[in-house]
């Protein structure tokens, strides 16, 4: 006879359920969208693209980063300057100052993604010590690709599991190691024909949900017409178990999230040509000419569609967990400013007493 407490024994043998409920911890939107991001402020020495990623001052001054009349954040490539040989085109790369741990979900509502020959745009995340700590590409596409794709890049040992529960059957590669296939990553293509380019923009864009969980990494994509009510409006919490099957899923069984991933900073960037969009084997799949000479140096109107328009990025964390890491490095610029203003005020007060 079994003791009556054995119901407990059975439940102890079952793996602990992973929470799918997350609460809002951070929102980037509207007039304050660009608060809490670092602008790269250097030429693209990361992927060898033909761009200068502007610092915040130049980006705002040149109107390559701004909030439009609809309240959406625009990040764009310079489409007004004619360049001379050897010059790079100005563009944007921003990364979040905060990092988000395992047990986070980020949701991005995007109306327009950059596209066109030579263009390589992405919304992604990585650990600062990349490749240690991994990279999660939520949206990436180049040139005149038909669709966007998703992927992971890690140290060797992480692969896309055959146990993945996902809706996309377009699996391009399964080894996530940066050392495999020239750092192709483990790539899954978004089957939605409106996941990139003009089709994405015409469909009103869509919402990407990226879940960074201990039992695996998952990405959902919903186009505007298919957006579930649980993602509409100013949502203060989300439950990923209600979102249905993700479009891409990398379960932890073949890629231990704890082993290969560390807290992630979010990144938007648009580069031109470079290691991926400009690689001959990739470029000539959908474009003609010479990437730098004919496109970057060509008519600036080549870049009229090379911009992100983002309604918001929201980050959610598991309740009761510290999921937002603010790396040390002193107070944020806004706090520095108000501290400075306080000192000035105190200074003038002091000067007033001095002269009295």
Ligand X SMILES: *[C@@H]1O[C@H](CO)[C@@H](O)[C@H](O)[C@H]1NC(C)=O
Active-site residue list: 135, 140
Which residue is associated with the tokens 């409920």?
21
Phi-psi region of 207 (alpha: psi -120 to 50; beta: other; left: phi over 0): beta
Comparison of 226 and 259: residue with beta carbon closer to ligand X: 226
Cα angle 124, 66, 202 (rounded to 5 degrees) comes to 65
Q: Which stretch binds ligand X (CB under 6 A): 22-30, 52-60, 119-127, 251-259?
A: 22-30
Comparison of 171 and 290: residue with beta carbon closer to ligand X: 171
Site for ligand X, residues 221 to 280, rule: CB under 6 A: 223, 225-226, 234, 236
Comparison of 285 and 341: residue with beta carbon closer to ligand X: 285
Minimum Å gap between C-beta 24 and ligand X is 5
Minimum Å gap between C-beta 159 and ligand X is 17
Q: What is the 3-state secondary structure (H, E, C) of 155-220?
A: CCCCECCCCCCCCCCCECCCECECCCCCCCCEEEECCCCCCCHHHHHHCCCEEEEEEEECCEEEEE
Minimum Å gap between C-beta 246 and ligand X is 12
Q: Which two tokens stand for residue 82?
A: 């004619």
Site track for ligand X across 100-139, x = CB under 6 A: ----------------------------------------
Site for ligand X, residues 53 to 92, rule: CB under 6 A: 76, 79-80
Site for ligand X, residues 166 to 195, rule: CB under 6 A: 170, 172, 187, 189, 192-194
Question: Any residues with CB less than 8 A from the CB of 36 and at least 6 apart, and which?
Answer: 26, 28, 96, 97, 98, 332
Comparison of 7 and 334: residue with beta carbon closer to ligand X: 334
Closest C-alpha among 313, 182, 321 to residue 235:
313
CB-CB contact of 111 with 261 (8 Å): no
- CA 250: distance to chain centroid? 17
CA dist 186 and 153 (Å) reads 7
CB-CB contact of 73 with 110 (8 Å): no
Q: Which stretch binds ligand X (CB under 6 A): 12-20, 27-35, 123-131, 158-166?
A: 27-35
Is residue 156 involved in binding ligand X (CB under 6 A)? no
Is residue 26 involved in binding ligand X (CB under 6 A)? no
CA dist 85 and 15 (Å) reads 60
The β-bridge relationship of strands 149-153 and 186-189 is antiparallel
The β-bridge relationship of strands 186-189 and 206-213 is unpaired
Site track for ligand X across 201-230, x = CB under 6 A: --x-------------------x-xx----
Is residue 27 involved in binding ligand X (CB under 6 A)? yes
Q: Which residue in the set 304, 319, 335, 337 belongs to the binding site for ligand X (CB under 6 A)?
A: 304
Residues at the site binding ligand X, with contacts judged by CB under 6 A? 24, 27, 29-30, 42, 45-46, 76, 79-80, 149, 170, 172, 187, 189, 192-194, 203, 223, 225-226, 234, 236, 304, 307
């Amino acid at each position: 006879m079994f003791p009556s407490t054995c119901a407990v024994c059975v439940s102890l043998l079952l793996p602990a359920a992973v929470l799918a409920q997350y609460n809002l911890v951070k929102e980037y939107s509207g007039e304050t969208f660009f608060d809490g991001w670092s602008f790269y402020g250097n030429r693209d020495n990361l992927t060898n693209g033909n761009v200068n990623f502007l610092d915040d001052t130049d980006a705002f001054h040149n109107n390559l980063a701004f909030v439009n009349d609809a309240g959406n954040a625009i990040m764009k490539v310079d489409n007004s300057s004619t360049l001379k040989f050897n010059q790079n085109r100005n563009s944007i790369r921003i990364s979040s100052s905060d990092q988000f741990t395992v047990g986070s979900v980020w949701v991005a509502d995007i109306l327009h993604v950059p596209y066109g020959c030579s263009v390589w745009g992405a919304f992604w995340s990585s650990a600062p010590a990349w490749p240690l700590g991994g990279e999660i590409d939520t949206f990436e596409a180049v040139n005149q690709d038909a669709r966007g794709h998703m992927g992971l890049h890690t140290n060797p040992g992480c692969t896309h599991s055959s146990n993945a529960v996902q809706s996309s059957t377009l699996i391009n590669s399964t080894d996530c190691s940066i050392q495999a296939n020239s750092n192709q990553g483990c790539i899954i293509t978004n089957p939605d024909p409106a996941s990139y380019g003009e089709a994405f923009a015409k469909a009103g864009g869509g919402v990407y949900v990226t879940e960074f969980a201990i039992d695996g990494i998952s990405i959902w994509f919903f186009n505007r017409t298919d957006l579930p009510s649980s993602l509409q409006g100013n949502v203060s919490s989300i439950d990923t178990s209600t979102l249905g099957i993700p479009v891409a899923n990398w379960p932890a069984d073949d890629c231990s999230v704890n082993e290969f991933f560390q807290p992630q900073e979010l990144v938007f960037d648009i580069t031109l040509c470079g290691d991926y969009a400009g690689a001959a084997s990739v470029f000539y799949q959908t474009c003609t000419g010479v990437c730098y000479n004919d496109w970057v140096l060509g008519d600036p109107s080549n870049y009229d569609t090379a911009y992100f328009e983002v309604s918001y990025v929201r980050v959610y964390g598991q309740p009761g967990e510290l999921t937002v890491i603010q790396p040390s490095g002193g107070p944020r610029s806004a706090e520095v400013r108000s501290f400075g203003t306080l000192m000035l005020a105190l200074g003038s007060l002091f000067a007033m007493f001095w002269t009295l």
